[in-house]
C-alpha cells in the first residue's frame, strides 16, 4: 500500500470516528415514560442505504412513523401521523394520515438534522436481536425539543417497499424515474400519475372536476388539504417535473 493511500485511509477513519456523536448516558422517553439502558445501543457510520426505511415511534393512537429516503448525497425525512376524521365523500369515520416532509437533510457521521430537530442513527439490541433504531432529541409531532436527558426512540419497522406497497399510488414516490418510464404514456395517463401524488397527501381537487370524479372512486382518497406542496419530496418533485415536460409536448 502506498504511503499516500495509507495516510488517506487513516484520515478517513479518524474523520468518521470524530463525527460519531455519543449515545446519551441517560435515555428517558417522555412520551411512553420508558427508561432505556444506553448499553443496549451502539452507533457507527453506515451507508445511508442501510438506514433507509420506516421507523415507528409512540404507541396506540399516538403512534407515528418517521420515513427515511435516500436522494443522491442527502436524505429525505417524512413524518407520518394521523387522526380520526370523517371522509368528505363517504361520511364514514376514517384514519386521516398527515405528513411533514424535510428535504435535503444533512447527515454528519451518525447524526442527522431536520428542521429544528436532530437525531442519531443507532443499533438497538433487545435480547438476542439487533435492529436499526433512531434516537430523536425532540418531538416533531408536538413541535418541541426535549431536555438534556430526554429522547424518543424509534425502531425500524419495515421497508419502503412494504410501507408504500401500492404500485399505482406510489410509483413516483420511492425513486426518481428515468424519462423512458414516461415516454410511452398517454397525456391522460401522465395527468393521472401526476395528480395521484397530490391525492396521496389529501389534496382537495376542484369540485365537480375531472380529477375529483376520478379519485372520488378510490377508497383510500380522503381530501382535506387545499395545498400539499410542502408535503412533496424532492423525488416526487423531480418526477412531476419530468411528467410536466412530457405533457407539454
Contact (CB, 8 A) for 89 and 214: no
Q: For the chain, give me the number of helices (H) and strands (E)?
A: 7, 14
Contact (CB, 8 A) for 135 and 21: no
Q: Model confidence at 19, in pLDDT bands (50, 70, 90)?
A: low
Question: Which of 10-14, 121-125, 137-141, 237-241 shows the lowest mean pLDDT across its residues?
Answer: 10-14
Task: Convert the pLDDT of each residue in 52-79 to its tens digit.
Answer: 999 999 877 788 999 999 988 889 999 9
Dist CA 227 CA 204 (whole Å): 8
Q: Does this model's pTM top 0.75?
A: yes
> Which carries the bigger pLDDT value, residue 240 or residue 127?
240
State the DSSP code for 149: T
Closest CA to 154 of 137, 166, 169, 171: 137
Mean pLDDT confidence for 162-169: 92
Domain with CATH 1.20.58.1690 in the chain: 170-249
Residues in Cβ contact with 101 at an 8 Å cutoff, skipping those fewer than 6 apart: 76, 77, 78, 79, 230, 231, 232, 233
Looking at 1.20.58.1690, 1.10.357.10, 1.10.10.10, 1.20.120.1200, the CATH number of the domain 170-249 comes to: 1.20.58.1690
Please state the φ and ψ torsions of residue 5, each to the nearest 5 degrees: -65, -40
Dist CA 146 CA 157 (whole Å): 24
Transcribe 27-55 into DSSP letters: EEETTTTEEE-GGGEE-----GGGT-EEE
Dist CA 50 CA 107 (whole Å): 14
> Which carries the bigger pLDDT value, residue 191 or residue 15?
191
Amino acid at each position: 500500500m502506498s504511503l499516500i493511500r495509507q495516510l488517506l485511509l487513516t484520515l478517513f477513519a479518524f474523520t468518521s470516528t470524530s463525527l460519531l456523536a455519543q449515545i446519551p448516558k441517560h435515555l428517558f422517553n417522555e412520551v411512553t415514560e420508558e427508561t432505556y439502558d444506553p448499553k443496549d445501543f451502539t452507533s457507527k457510520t453506515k451507508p445511508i442505504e442501510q438506514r433507509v426505511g420506516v421507523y415507528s415511534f409512540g404507541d396506540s393512537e399516538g403512534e407515528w412513523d418517521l420515513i427515511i429516503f435516500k436522494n443522491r448525497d442527502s436524505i429525505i425525512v417524512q413524518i407520518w401521523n394521523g387522526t380520526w376524521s370523517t371522509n368528505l365523500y363517504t361520511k364514514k369515520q376514517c384514519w386521516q394520515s398527515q405528513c411533514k416532509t424535510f428535504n435535503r437533510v444533512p447527515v454528519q457521521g451518525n447524526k442527522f438534522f431536520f428542521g429544528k430537530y436532530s437525531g442519531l442513527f443507532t443499533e438497538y439490541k433487545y435480547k438476542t436481536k439487533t435492529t436499526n433504531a433512531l434516537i430523536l432529541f425532540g418531538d416533531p409531532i408536538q413541535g418541541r425539543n426535549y431536555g438534556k436527558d430526554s429522547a424518543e426512540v424509534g425502531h425500524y419497522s419495515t421497508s419502503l417497499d412494504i410501507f408504500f406497497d401500492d404500485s399505482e399510488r406510489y410509483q413516483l414516490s420511492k425513486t426518481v424515474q428515468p424519462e423512458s418510464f414516461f415516454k410511452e404514456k398517454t397525456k391522460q395517463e401522465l395527468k393521472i400519475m401526476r395528480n395521484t401524488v397530490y391525492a396521496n397527501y389529501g389534496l382537495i381537487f376542484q369540485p365537480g372536476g375531472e380529477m375529483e370524479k376520478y379519485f372520488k372512486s378510490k377508497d383510500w382518497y380522503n381530501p382535506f388539504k387545499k395545498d400539499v406542496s410542502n408535503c412533496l419530496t424532492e423525488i416526487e418533485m423531480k418526477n412531476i417535473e419530468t411528467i410536466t415536460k412530457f405533457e407539454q409536448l
